[in-house]
Amino acid sequence: MNEVSLLQSLGQVSASETGEVFRDFIRGHVREMISEVMAAEVTQLCGPKHAPHEGDHYR
C-alpha cells in the first residue's frame, strides 16, 4: 500500500477503523524496512549474492 492508497483507504473507512488501517500500513512499511536492512547487513558481512552466469554448467 503506498501513501496515495493509504489516504484513499482512510477516507473510505469509519473513524473506528482508521487506526487499524494506519497500523496495517505502518506494520507493512516497518517489515519492508527491516528486510532491506537485514539484506544490506548480510551483503556487507558475506559479500554480494552469488549469481552464476548463464551458460555456466556446474556439477
Residue 55 backbone zone (phi > 0: left; psi -120 to 50: alpha; other: beta): left
Question: What domain range includes position 33?
Answer: 19-46
Q: What pLDDT sits at residue 38?
A: 94
More confident residue, 49 or 59: 49
Kindly state the cell numbers that stand for 5: 492508497
Q: What pLDDT sits at residue 56?
A: 66
How far apart are the C-alpha atoms of 3 and 24, rounded to whole Å? Answer: 12
Q: 18 CB contacts (<8 Å, ≥6 apart)?
A: 10
Please check the confidence at residue 6 and state whether its pLDDT lies above 80: no
Q: What is the mean predicted confidence (pLDDT) over 24-34?
A: 92
Q: Is residue 33 part of a domain?
A: yes
Whether the predicted model's global pTM rises above the 0.85 cut: no
Domain count, the chain: 1
Q: What pLDDT sits at residue 3?
A: 65
Q: Is residue 13 part of a domain?
A: no
Please check the confidence at residue 2 and state whether its pLDDT lies above 70: no
Q: Is residue 41 part of a domain?
A: yes
